[in-house]
Chain A
Amino acid sequence: NAGVMQNPRHLVRRRGQEARLRCSPMKGHSHVYWYRQLPEEGLKFMVYLQKENIIDESGMPKERFSAEFPKEGPSILRIQQVVRGDSAAYFCASSPPGQGIGQPQHFGDGTRLSIL
């Protein structure tokens, strides 16, 4: 999974603080996806971005969560005013440009977010 880089690997925040999770896609990949995994569950889609555009944010909670993928730099998933229920593993994936079908997404090793 070295191709997709996520940092930090572990993040501890107190309730009410902000959490920023970063993701650098694999070289040559312009599509970025964020997923969340709660304990003992599968991954749940949150948002799909291309450079400077949010393509699909149907899985994002309506409040406190935002994502961006600027022209330069990594994609950022931002959680404001964190609550205990935000504790989870957050995974970023990337895929190359082109049609979606037949293009597997490749995942990073995730950020484990813990809320005290």
Chain B
Amino acid sequence: DQQVKQNSPSLSVQEGRISILNCDYTNSMFDYFLWYKKYPAEGPTFLISISSIKDKNEDGRFTVFLNKSAKHLSLHIVPSQPGDSAVYFCAASNFGNEKLTFGTGTRLTIIP
């Protein structure tokens, strides 16, 4: 039972344009969402998070949007840079239960 889904295994975006990565979840108990970035042979690096009391959180070039009614969140990266090429994982948890449930990841490739 995949409670967190990233339906796009890969995405290619021109340098300087906006990258939009999507994530859907099925468990309505989730109230904290995170995005991680992962390079090969390294561990995931925390990017940005959002709690269910918000619908948007911004940090520099990264913005996460949460649509609770649709159980959908997205990560916007603008402008996209070559160093953004990596696998991006969406993760979720619920208050009082600290384990993270991860999606399967989206491989983002930024084309120079």
B84 within 8 A of A: no
Chain A interface: which size bin? Answer: 20 to 34
**B103 / chain A contacts, CB cutoff of 8 Å:** 42
B43: nearest chain-A partner, CB-CB = A107
| A48 CB contact (under 8 Å) in B42, B44, B99, B105 | B99
Chain B facing A: main interface SS = strand
A108 in contact with B43 (CB, 8 Å): yes
Number of B residues, CB within 8 Å of A: 27
Residues of A contacting B32 with CB < 8 Å?
100-102
Chain B proximity of A105: nearest CB distance (Å): 6
CB-based contact A100/B98 at 8 Å? yes
Please tell me if the beta carbons of B31 and A101 are within 8 angstroms of each other in the complex: yes
Assess whether B83 is interfacial by the CB under 8 Å rule: no
In the assembled complex, 15 residue pairs joining A and B whose CB atoms fall closer than 8 Å, in A order, are: A1-B42, A33-B98, A33-B99, A33-B100, A42-B105, A43-B89, A44-B102, A56-B98, A56-B99, A95-B98, A100-B95, A101-B51, A101-B93, A108-B43, A110-B42
**A contact residues vs B (CB 8 Å cutoff):** 1, 4, 6, 31, 33, 35, 40-45, 48, 55-56, 58-59, 91, 93, 95, 99-110
